[in-house]
Structure 1
């Protein structure tokens, strides 16, 4: 039985396609499947789908609030009926200003991308959203997610900073200034006070330790914590 192709299967070829052009690529940032940034070029957003659909077009339209460079990446599959509709799809995307990428996934080889339409640059309609996306992109260490994921919990820059604090608390309680100095996380106080993940317990004013959940998380995310505090090892 042939294994069903998922949107996440399209991510690696798309990532490699943009990296080959000098882009830095990260996935799943504020709902965008893929975000690619290169020097002072506009942010490029790529939405992944195994089939062309109205849902994909609407996702692209929604992303115009964040970036003026939008690509729709679609699986190129012989039996999908895409070939018959391709001219109409190109016409629609040209009107909207979207680029089109076709992703081929051979059975016994790595996938590759063919660009059949260049996007037409537009001005993002919401500069605040665009700035927020760029900030998350820059603050997120590495590319810990897979583009096209839907059910899997996402690793965000906020969660990575919380894990940096977890790492410093493994050997006992510390003050907020100590944690801020050790981790370099400027918003240490708000992360501890908000305690979104339930990982921290307040010992005294300005003093925190790991909760039982935090101790468990230090083990669950051990490899991720190692990469965060030893990025080049």
Structure 2
């Protein structure tokens, strides 16, 4: 059963490597699939294509600059009669000579896909050598993401990067602060119209400190969102989600509100907020 898109390979490969103890995330700094298993162990990198070709081979060789644990993954379609599909032994030998691993995925109509390792990378043990700075950026991006929100092999789609996650947390905190401020103002106005707070209704809501008047301060958003780089995110305003209404005060734009709806499924776990310290891809 031939796949239509290489993204279809991601789920079975993710499941396969998770069973080996890896934490898997897709589309990390242009790598289709990245896995991390233990301290000191090189990151797992998998590059996927529907069929084995020169582009995939060159991509794999380039990824060896980041880690020695690089696999190429393709579909193994039993229905195909082409020359390449019948030469897996030769392709496996080629990958081994280059230090690459080779994985195939067979899809069935009535049962789960079969993932098979035809060749292992040159080495999966010991510390990585070379490409230190690039590998650090890869691992930083991996760890700064709170979850796996991208499908490996995706093209021409918006990716949820660590930076986008942090911007979403700041936008969410800003929306919440503005909502609380609006409710507090409405309750104060209602109390004033009635000649003071009505006992049955309870005390007037206290506004979020720093949320009034007109906009919210970066300090408040840093505290509410748990993102230390909140001020830089607001100032750079890469996505156009924020508007500066006064010195040191910001409001959420229509684009920001739309983004919170678009990325509503993105988790904002407390552990990720605690880790956040700025940076990441955009």
Same fold per superposition (TM over 0.5): yes
- 2:241, 2:253 within 8 Å by CA — same for their partners in 1? yes
C-alpha change, 1:109 and 1:152, in structure 2 (3 Å) is: farther
Partner of 1:190: helix, strand, or coil?
helix
2:170 corresponds to 1:165: yes
Give 1:86 deviation, angstroms. Answer: 1.4
The aligned runs of 1:1-233 (5 Å cut-off) are 4-40=3-39, 41-78=41-78, 79=80, 81=82, 82-121=84-123, 123-171=128-176, 172=178, 173-224=215-266, 227-228=267-268
Structure 1 pair 196–124 and aligned structure 2 pair: CA distance change class (3 A):
farther
CA spacing shift, 1:119–1:3, aligned 2, 3 Å: closer
Return the offset for 1:83: 4.2
Tell me the secondary structure at the aligned position of residue 243 of structure 2: strand
Count matched residues: 228
Give how far 1:229 is off. Answer: 5.3
Higher strand share: 1
Q: Which runs of 5+ in 2 are unaligned?
A: 179-214, 272-282
SS for the counterpart of 1:222 is: coil
Query: 1:158 Cα deviation (Å)?
Result: 0.5
Deviations 1:140-197 (A, max 9, x none): 1110000111122111110011010111111423211111111111111111111000
- Separation in 1, partners of 2:167, 2:229: 10
- 1:230–1:132 CA distance, 2 compared to 1 (3 A): closer
Following TM superposition, where does structure 1 have runs of at least 4 consecutive aligned residues deviating by more than 3 angstroms? 80-83, 122-125
The answer to whether the Cα contact below 8 Å between 1:26 and 1:142 also exists between their aligned partners in 2 is yes
In 2 relative to 1, CA 162–80 (structure 1 residues): closer, same or farther, beyond 3 Å?
Answer: farther
TM-score by length of 1: 0.91
Q: Is the 8 A contact 1:170 1:218 kept in 2?
A: no
TM-score (norm 2): 0.76
- Aligned-residue offset at 1:215: 2.3
Distance 2:242 2:168 in 1: 11
Q: Which has the larger radius of gyration?
A: 2
C-alpha distance in 1 between matches for 2:231 and 2:16: 40
